[in-house]
Amino acid sequence: MQIATWNVNSLKVRLPQLLDWLSRDPVDVVCLQETKLVDAKFPIDALAQAGYAAAYSGQPTYNGVAILTRRETVGEPSDVAIGNPLLEDPQQRLISATVAGVRVISAYFPNGQSVDSDKYVYKLGWIDRLLEWLQPQLADGAPLALLGDFNIAPEDRDVHDPAAWAGQVLVSEPERERFRALEALGLVDAFRLFEQPEKFYTWWDYRQMAFRRNMGLRIDHILVTGALRGRVRECRIEREMRKREQPSDHAPVVVRID
């Protein structure tokens, strides 16, 4: 089974690329972020034609998350939950569902804008509430995967120019502390389970020809519980998706598990 995450930066714009990708590589579960679609405009019909069911939660203009499941292999998402009950939040950033015995969470962490911004305070609080909400879910050791755009580069090796980024939003110590707090709950960064090439990132700015120059950050992640860790066979970043015409600024990340 393959589980993927992709910040699409508008599902309306990226739908043809998503369908083309899934037709070539029929990933079983796809977590999406930044769909930027109200629920009434979610492309359920086009996805159904491609063989996928969907759980989704959107709003106008901003945010929006979804979980797609390939009907033929993993069926429909069950026990769908939207948001975090510990946080009253109009921003649609979190959706969970059970798929093939795995609790799957698609998360779009706040960006934070800058460390002196109100949005940064919101980001840290959002993650703190996420930690509180996750802790009891992880207690029973059941298989769970937290996937999404974390908007955190956990270590300097996840940053193309650590000196230039030092202390800034996405790499600041309070954000990295919270990433480590997720790991302390028993979650493991699937990408780091394997030997990986250096300078592998998941996001590149649209400006400055950043992708061509590989000026990127690794901020999209797949974290798995101990119950899944031993089943993970591969974790890869689909860099090819960033090379396409009219790409998302994020590349998908995929895990293959037994």
Partner DNA sequence: ATGGCCCGTAGAACGGGA
Catalytic residues: 108, 149, 250
Size of site (CB under 7 A) for DNA: 30
Considering only 75, 208, 213, 230, the residue that binds DNA (CB under 7 A) is 208
In 60-215 the beta strands, taken as DSSP E runs, fall at 65-70, 78-82, 94-99, 102-108, 144-149, 188-189, 203-204
Annotated binding-site residue? 195: no
CA dihedral 131, 148, 7, 108 (to 10 degrees): -10
Cβ closest to DNA, residue 119 vs residue 229: 119
Whether 58 and 94 have beta carbons less than 8 Å apart is answered as no
Query: Which tokens belong to 159?
Result: 């940053």
Q: Is 172 in the site for DNA (CB under 7 A)?
A: no
Q: Which stretch binds DNA (CB under 7 A): 44-52, 110-118, 124-132, 179-187?
A: 110-118
Distances (CA, A) of 5 to 43, 114, 122, 130, 246: 18, 25, 23, 18, 19
Q: Which stretch binds DNA (CB under 7 A): 9-17, 22-30, 188-196, 229-237?
A: 9-17
Cβ closest to DNA, residue 52 vs residue 109: 109
Annotated binding-site residue? 234: no
Cβ closest to DNA, residue 69 vs residue 92: 92
Distance of CA 170 to the CA centre of its chain: 15
Cβ closest to DNA, residue 80 vs residue 165: 165
In 75-141 the beta strands, taken as DSSP E runs, fall at 78-82, 94-99, 102-108
Q: Is 205 in the site for DNA (CB under 7 A)?
A: yes
Q: Is 119 in the site for DNA (CB under 7 A)?
A: yes
Specify binding-site residues for Mg(2+).
Answer: 7, 34, 149, 151, 249-250
